[in-house]
Structure 1
Amino acid sequence: MPTETCQFFYECNNCKRVIRPKEGDCCVFCSYGTVACPSIQESSGCCR
């Protein structure tokens, strides 16, 4: 994943439900992924 990439919304290909980051998280990777987004991993803050 490129380090300048964040995803604020994700639409499920199967059910078409759109998920958003949980309160306090900067992107869906931080909320639902197995690892934090690249910006958090590099300690450069949220990816905004």
Structure 2
Amino acid sequence: MAAEQERNSAPVRVAAELSLELKQARAELESAQNAPGLSGTRSTPSSTAVPVT
């Protein structure tokens, strides 16, 4: 029974860590979208584009 608890505890810890990281990433994304003067999309100037041949 102790071995089974040990096997189950690792995935539970991983899920908890990933949940926290996802929550933090969502908060960062939300604050970046609300920041004045920052664009949500990035674009490169056409003068720096390299033509594909």
- Using the size of structure 2 for normalisation, the TM-score is 0.19
Which structure has more RCO (C-alpha within 8 Å, separation ≥ 6)? 1
Q: Which has the larger Rg? A: 2
Query: Counting helix residues as a fraction of each chain, which structure ranks higher?
Result: 2
Pick the structure with more strand per residue.
1
